[in-house]
Structure formats: C-alpha cells, structure tokens
C-alpha cells in the first residue's frame, strides 16, 4: 500500500533586508530536494515586482502569495523570500494561501547585524534609494522597507536568529518543523537539530 503524497505548503520568510533569508533558503533547498519535493522559490521575481504607480510593496507581495497558493494547491512547496514589513500584508498572504498550509519563518538577527550585511553587499543604490537614505538620515523617515518599520511577527511558526544560528542549522530546524506539521516524512534515524538561536511557534514566539 502506497502512502498519500505530502500536502503542499508555503514557507513565508520575513525579516529585514540583510537578515539572511536567502542564505537559509539556499541551505534548505538540498534537504527538500532529497525528500523528493517539488520546490518553487519566489525571491526576486521581476514579473511580480511593483507595477508602475504602486507606492508600496503590498501589491507585489500579494501577487507572490497568489503564485504560492497555486504551487501549494498542486502539492508543491513554495518558498517566499520577503521583507513583508507590515503584519496585515503577511496576514493577507496567509489568508490567500490558507492558514493550514502557511508557515511563517522570521529570520531575525540584531538590527546592526542585518545592516552590516546589507552594507557589505557593495551594491550601488538607485537614485530613489539614495534620496530615501538622505531623508532617513535627516529624520524624515524611519528605517525599514519603503520607509516602514518592520513589524516583527508576534508568534511565527519559527524564529531564527541568524547572528548565532548558522544557515545549515536554521535549515534543519525548518525541516524538523515540516516533519512535525506533516509536510515532510520523518527521516529514518533523524535527530533533532541544535536549537540555539531558534524558537518554535506559535506557542510563545520568543527567542
């Protein structure tokens, strides 16, 4: 008798720019592929970026959530790598995908660590971003995505402090979460990954 295929799920990564979301995602992919899952990564997707006239990132995030919902509906794993600073946008994405198939992963190093990583990329900012930085330094904007402070999830399914948790350990923690929720089979002889800098949710949502 063959077992039923594992259901689809959306892993919604949220966290400040430079927090390490993409790095954890790259570490996670080989584990999911070895488990035989079809994975779609929605990180920087030009066709889903902000349309002309859109003043916030909400539209592109909801488009990303819609694509994820279709991946999940067909039994795949969708990994959405986002800043998604506003809590109400993340909740709208959860509703679009379905709360039982939506896992919120908060990658949350200290602000100064995320800022240093972002600065180390060495990318020259666009004129719009340079003007925004000047306004921010003048006290006209708060730091965040689009001038918006990142609203940390109160009770994410998993919180990873990437300043103390290597990407591979963070990936293993996500694998464990997927096994616990029934989205991956329990690997034979699989031990629990280290938990320093990790917090399961939504029981308390604290590190």
Report the Cα 114 to chain-centroid distance in Å: 15
What does the chain come to in residues? 207
- For the question of residue 162 being annotated catalytic, the response is no
Q: How many CB atoms lie within 10 A of CB 199?
A: 20
The whole-angstrom separation of Cα 126 and Cα 177 is 38
Task: Judge residue 55's burial from the number of C-beta atoms within 10 Å of its C-beta, 0-12 exposed, 13-18 middle, 19 or more buried.
Answer: exposed
Own/partner contacts of 137-145, CB < 8 Å, gap of 24 or more, are 143/111, 144/16, 144/85, 145/16, 145/17, 145/57, 145/83, 145/84, 145/85
Dihedral sign computed on CA atoms, order 201, 204, 206, 207: negative
Given the residues 84, 99, 162, 203, the one annotated as active site:
84
Residues with catalytic function: 84
């Amino acid at each position: 008798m063959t077992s039923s295929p594992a259901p689809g799920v959306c892993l919604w990564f949220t966290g400040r720019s430079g927090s390490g979301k993409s790095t954890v995602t790259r570490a996670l992919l080989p584990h999911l592929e070895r488990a035989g899952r079809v994975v779609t990564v929605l990180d920087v997707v030009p066709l889903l970026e902000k349309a002309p006239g859109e003043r916030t990132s909400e539209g592109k995030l909801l488009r990303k959530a819609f694509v994820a919902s279709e991946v999940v509906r067909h039994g795949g794993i969708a990994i959405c790598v986002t800043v998604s600073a506003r809590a109400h946008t993340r909740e709208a994405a959860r509703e679009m995908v379905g709360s039982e198939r939506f896992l919120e992963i908060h990658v949350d190093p200290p602000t100064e660590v995320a800022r240093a990583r972002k600065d180390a990329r060495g990318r020259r900012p666009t004129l719009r971003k340079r003007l925004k930085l000047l306004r921010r330094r003048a006290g006209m904007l708060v730091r965040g995505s689009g001038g918006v402070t990142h609203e940390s999830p109160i009770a994410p399914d998993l919180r990873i402090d990437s300043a103390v948790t290597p990407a591979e350990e963070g990936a293993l923690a996500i694998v464990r979460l997927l096994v616990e929720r029934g989205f991956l089979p329990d690997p034979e002889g699989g031990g629990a990954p280290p938990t320093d800098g990790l917090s399961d949710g939504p029981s308390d949502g604290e590190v």
